[in-house]
Structure 1
Amino acid sequence: MKACNKRISAQSNTTVRSGEDRLKGLAINTFFLFFILTSLTNQVNAQDPQFSQFFAAPLYLNPAFTGTTKEHRFVANYRNQWRNVANGYVTYAFSYDYNMRDARSGFGLMATADKAGAVEMGTKSVGFLYSYKIKLSNNWILTPGLHFAYGSRGIDKDKVVLLDQLSYGDATIASNDPLVFSLKDHDYFDFGSGLLLYSKTFWIGASAFHMNQPNISMISDNSELAMKTSIHGGARIRLYNGPFRRNIVPSIAPSFILKKQGSIEQLDLGVNFHYDPVMFGMWYRGMPSKQNLEEKNISQDALIFLVGMKHKQLEFGYSYDVTLSSLGPTSGGAHEVSLTYHLHNPNRRRPKVKYKDIPCPTFLLDN
């Protein structure tokens, strides 16, 4: 009988602990939701997701890159950041652009999606891009670009846990809290522009997204999405220009991007080494000229390592961000993958107008 009582007591204690663990988990979700809503109420400016391989997400970087390839270009980007911190941030981007040489124009489509946290708060957008090429000389082209998009911001309400559900001890029971009914997905229009100057070897550009600073609040409040601006540039430098012809010539591609959104400023600076069909790169992200007032040291974010390969018209890149900020290695860093596919017809007729097109320097394929 004593042994039986001990087993019953042990089972009861296990059940109690299990219930306590579940309530702790529910409490964490509730706190996370409260944090999000507090941020929205206080009109905290949101920050756009970023790609370490910004050169492999050209339309996301600057709409003026639209149509700067030989003909058709398909790009897919995936980023998983800080997966060990509150479910982290996951970002997707897909784009297609086409170089219409006869019209000296580029046309493109881009779709993006991101989500973060236990309630998968995120933004989705679909946009149209256009660029026009202005020939300055036989070696230089100036390209202005435009971006028009429709976006939506929201959360997964099925993963929201509120206080009345905690009191029931069962998160599957529907909540009667009016807060859950006030949360609504918010749709908005977005506008951006950019400018790009390039030759076969060098390029430099500037872009501005969210120029209309759309309201993205989900609680009938005002929370503007701050305009994102950037200045970026780079080069593709051959490491051999001797008298002998070589089928494969090694090259380096240094580049940078200086970006600002709201109060956030960052500098990405690095170089890729190419020896087809492989590429290696190393990058730094931070703002060495600025001091982090809280930590009393320089503002730094990550050290980025990159490897890439190409096979015919297909390009592949993988990068990993080593976190240098106070989050440290426990954040899980960031994994990023990019895929680019070029499609063109070498026998396509030349344009009717007398216009010499110059593809922008690429990072894996030689033009």
Structure 2
Amino acid sequence: MKRALLAFCMLFFTSVTCLFAQDIRFSQFYANKLYLNPALAGSTNYSNVSLNYRNQWPNLDLPYVTYSVSFDNFYEALNGGIGITVIQDDQGDGALKTTTFAGMYSFYLRINDDLIVRPAIQAAYMQKKVDWANLVFPDQVSPIYGSIFPHNTSGDPANRKKGGWDFSLGSIAYYKDYYFGIAAHHLAKPDLSFDDEQEDKLQTKITVHAGAEFVLGGRSRRYADNWILAPALLYQKQGDFSQMNYGLYASKSSMVFGLWFNQNFEPNYDSFIAMVGFVTERFKVAYSYDYAISKLIHTNTGAHEISFSFPLVADMNKRRKRIKAVRSPVF
């Protein structure tokens, strides 16, 4: 019956005159840096591959599951970073899939020895697809015998796949141990409605993020016994939806701990995000959990998220210091 209800809800919402979709939200913001801001492409001294997995509200029979894979590198010939990323979001056991392919370029602009600015541009293709295979519709269900009737397809959308091009801009500036970034995604506002007479526009998303790093004791980061604290802020607004995130990372040696407070002003959904990560020169991996503290605490079990990334270099000890890397959090 839950799948029947899901199918009914999907048909209801796609029949609304004007819809405004929203983006996926990852909790490990900087572990999926290309999704956060295209200006972070090529922001380290080596090429990097990142994998991300998010499972939201896993207590539901049909949770929201999102996967992403990305690659980025700094190219001296281009004086900038190139990044590519693929993201797939599955809703309703794959009944509704949204896939995004994006490529970006960030320009490396050195103002002086301490101040670096990186403007960026991104182009993407988005596709939304409906798959009825695993769904049971209300007209198939008998109150007594269950799912026994064939589905009447006359009211189904004729086009079950819709795509559109999109463009985004971003920039980040960092001065010594401080950084500030801003990004504007979906400037083209792609229409992903399955009905040509209706709209399902993806509204422009504005992201502002900032932070700093402080070494306790004032000694160099080269000392493994020093604690490093990294406070951070992240604000996002998309259509009528806005949220503020207040975070703090604490790292020592190979361990990284993070705690974020997520405040959604509408519809007043608040949560804590707790994270633990392990970082080496060969790879970094982290796990985070979203814990709801609003009224939704009784209706969901938060969200699980796992990230894994590794550099693509043959010998980490021989890599060149080509650029001044961004002092942003690793997760």
Q: TM-score, normalised by structure 2?
A: 0.90
Show the counterpart of 1:361: 327
Deviations along 1:160-194, one digit per CA (max 9) or x if unpaired, are 32344225967587533212352511111111110
Show the counterpart of 1:318: 287
User: Is 2:252 the counterpart of 1:269?
Assistant: no
Show the counterpart of 1:35: 9
* Cα RMSD (Å): 2.5
8 A contact 1:119–1:160 mirrored in 2: no
Q: What is the rounded CA distance, in whole Å, between the counterparts of 1:86 and 1:211 in structure 2?
A: 35
- Identify the match of residue 234 of structure 2 among 244, 252, 257: 257
Q: 1:212: Cα distance to partner?
A: 0.4
- Identify the match of residue 201 of structure 1 among 174, 177, 201: 177
User: Is 2:62 the counterpart of 1:87?
Assistant: yes
Change (3 A) 1:64 1:311: same
Could you tell me which runs of 5 or more consecutive residues in structure 1 were left unpaired when the two chains were aligned. 1-24, 293-298, 351-355
Show the counterpart of 2:270: 301
Higher strand share: 2
* Amino acid aligned to 1:203: Y
Q: What is the rounded CA distance, in whole Å, between the counterparts of 1:181 and 1:258 in structure 2?
A: 36
Q: What is the rounded CA distance, in whole Å, between the counterparts of 1:160 and 1:283 in structure 2?
A: 37
8 A contact 2:242–2:266 mirrored in 1: no
Q: TM-score, normalised by structure 1?
A: 0.82
When structure 1 is superposed on structure 2, of 49-58 and 214-223 the one drifting more is 214-223
Q: What is the rounded CA distance, in whole Å, between the counterparts of 1:52 and 1:161 in structure 2?
A: 32
- Identify the match of residue 81 of structure 2 among 70, 82, 106: 106
Show the counterpart of 1:175: 151
**Where do residues 83-232 of structure 1 align in structure 2 (5 Å cutoff)?**
83-85=58-60, 87-117=62-92, 120-166=95-141, 171=147, 175-180=151-156, 182-220=158-196, 221-232=198-209
Deviations along 1:290-328, one digit per CA (max 9) or x if unpaired, are 475xxxxxx242111111111322111111111123221
Show the counterpart of 1:7: none
Q: What is the rounded CA distance, in whole Å, between the counterparts of 2:36 and 2:219 in structure 1?
A: 35
Change (3 A) 1:286 1:123: same
* Amino acid aligned to 1:185: K
Change (3 A) 1:223 1:115: same
* Amino acid aligned to 1:108: G
- Identify the match of residue 246 of structure 1 among 215, 219, 223: 223
8 A contact 1:71–1:100 mirrored in 2: no
Change (3 A) 1:291 1:148: closer
Q: What is the rounded CA distance, in whole Å, between the counterparts of 1:291 and 1:162 in structure 2?
A: 32
Q: What is the rounded CA distance, in whole Å, between the counterparts of 2:298 and 2:260 in structure 1?
A: 17
Q: What is the rounded CA distance, in whole Å, between the counterparts of 1:278 and 1:145 in structure 2?
A: 31
SS at structure 1 position matched to 2:19? coil
Higher helix share: 1
Amino-acid identity (%):
29
- Identify the match of residue 342 of structure 1 among 308, 311, 318: 311
